[in-house]
Amino acid sequence: MILRHAKVLGITLVILCSFVAAPERVAWQPNKTLTWEDFKGSPNASGSFVASTSSGMSQSYVIDNKGMLHKDETQVVAHFYPEYSWYRAKDTTARLLKHEQAHFDITEIHARILNARIQAYNFTSNSKKEVKALYEEVERHRRGMQRTFDEETNHSINREAEKKWEEKIARLLRSQ
């Protein structure tokens, strides 16, 4: 009897999970910048930060039955996740929004890097493992750059460092 209920519970969980919508995401676009209205998450009550941007890279690709990745059917996109991004309304400034946009731009830079590495890589019949390794390497670098950006700018407080980063990010976006 217990086993029967466990199966029913398991089936119910699978059905319920299939109705859960994927989180909203916004693809990076060259002529669109974030607005505070894009940030739909709830602020972290215990933290001292004023805002937080959640972004990441999504990839899609086709691997044939021989394990070979088709580069012409590969897409890498930088996404912003509104539900996981938040701000404290009383503390917002245009400068802070620009800082949060820079985080999204850093993700776009790395999406371009990942795409370039995929296009340049000589895949074997082990493409799935190889593309995963490329992603993990670029993702590690992306997270490191995000951390360094916040450390060097002191989360947008150091205006001189912020200006240097804005120039660096603009240069990287132009060159990728």
pLDDT tens string 120-148: 999 999 999 999 999 999 999 999 999 99
Q: What is the pTM of this model?
A: 0.86
Measure the CA–CA gap between 43 and 46, rounded to whole angstroms: 9
Q: What distance in Å separates the CA atoms of residue 68 and residue 115, rounded to the nearest whole number? A: 16
Nearest to 155 by CA among 51, 55, 35, 28: 51
Judged against a pLDDT cut of 60, whether residue 5 lies above it is answered with no
Domain-by-domain residue ranges, the chain? Answer: 24-175
